[in-house]
Amino acid sequence: MKRQQVYLLILASITIPLFLPLGLKHKVTPEVERFYQTVESLPAGSTVIVSFDFEASTIAETKPLAQAVLRHLFARNVSVVSLSMLAEGTGLGYSFLREVADEFGRKYGEDYIFLGFRPQYQATILGLGEDFAKVFPKDYSGNNLSDISLTQNVRNYEGISLIISVADGDLPQYWVDYAQTRYQKPVLAAVTAAMATTYYPYLSSGQFSGLVGGLKGAAEYEALLGQPGLGSKGMEAQSLGHLMIIALIIIGNLSYLIARKKI
C-alpha cells in the first residue's frame, strides 16, 4: 500500500462522520468529572486565573478546551483574570475569551480581564502572587490595572480561588511548582492529548484538582455542560480515525508476517 493511499483512507475515515453522524456516545472519565466538579463547587462571585499557555499549531484541541472551560466559568458567574505565557497564545486567548464573554453578556473589566503576555514563567507566576500590577502594570488593551474594577478588588493570589492552565506543553507544571506549592492555590489543567499522560501523576498526587485531555476531554466536558461544541463535533471523526489506524496497524503487521514467511 502506498503512503498516499494511507493518507486518503485516514482522510476518508475522518471526513465521512462529519457529513453522516453515527450517533456514537462517549463516557465521562473521572478526571474530567473532577475538573467539572471543582469549577462547579466555586461560589458565584469568585475569581479564577485562566492562563492560555498554547501556540497556534494546537488550536484544534485548545480552542474546544478553552471554550468549554470559559463557558462553565461564565455560566457560574465566576470572574476571570486571564493571561498568556506564550506569545502566540496571546491573540488567540484574547479572542476566545471575548467570544465566550460576549455569548454570556459579560463586561470587560468587571467580569473578566486579559492581562496579556509575559515571558519568563517562574518570575511571572511568582510575581502574580505578590501583586498583579507589578507584573502587568497595564492590561492587554493598555488600561492601568488600578483603573479596572476587577483588579482593584483582586490584587494577587489571595483573591484567586483557582488557577486553570489551558496548555499544549509543560506550563501546567510551572503553575504547580510555583503557584500551587508556594501559594497553595488549586490548579486545574486542560491540555492537549499528547501532554495528558505526562500529567496523570500530578492528578493522582492531588497536585492537579482535575485534568481534561484533548478533544475527547473537551467533548466530555461539553457533555457535562449539556452544551455540545467543537469537541463533540469532532469526536465521531476521531473514533473512526482511530479505528482506521488500528486496522492499518493490523494489516501492516499481518503483511509483514506473511512476507517474512515467504522469505
Q: Choose between 80 and 240: whose C-beta lies nearer to another protein.
A: 240
CB of 117 to another protein, least distance (A): 4
CB of 219 to another protein, least distance (A): 10
Q: Choose between 141 and 255: whose C-beta lies nearer to another protein.
A: 141
CB of 253 to another protein, least distance (A): 15
Q: How many CB atoms lie within 10 A of CB 221?
A: 29
CB of 192 to another protein, least distance (A): 5
Q: Choose between 35 and 136: whose C-beta lies nearer to another protein.
A: 136
Q: Choose between 156 and 198: whose C-beta lies nearer to another protein.
A: 198
Interatomic CA distance for residues 145 and 243, integer angstroms: 51
- DSSP secondary structure, 98-150, as one string: HHHHHHTTPPBTTTEEEEEE-S-HHHHHHHHHH-HHHH-SB-TTS-BGGG-HH
Interatomic CA distance for residues 97 and 49, integer angstroms: 12
Positions that interact with another protein (CB under 8 A): 4, 7, 10-11, 14-15, 18-19, 57-61, 63, 87-88, 90-91, 116-119, 122-123, 126, 136-138, 140, 173, 176-178, 180-182, 192-194, 196-198, 201, 204-207, 213-216, 230, 233-234, 237-238, 241-242, 245
What order do you get walking across the sheet with 112-117 strand by strand? 112-117, 79-84, 47-53, 162-167, 187-191, 208-213
Q: Choose between 24 and 107: whose C-beta lies nearer to another protein.
A: 24
DSSP 8-state code for residue 207: S
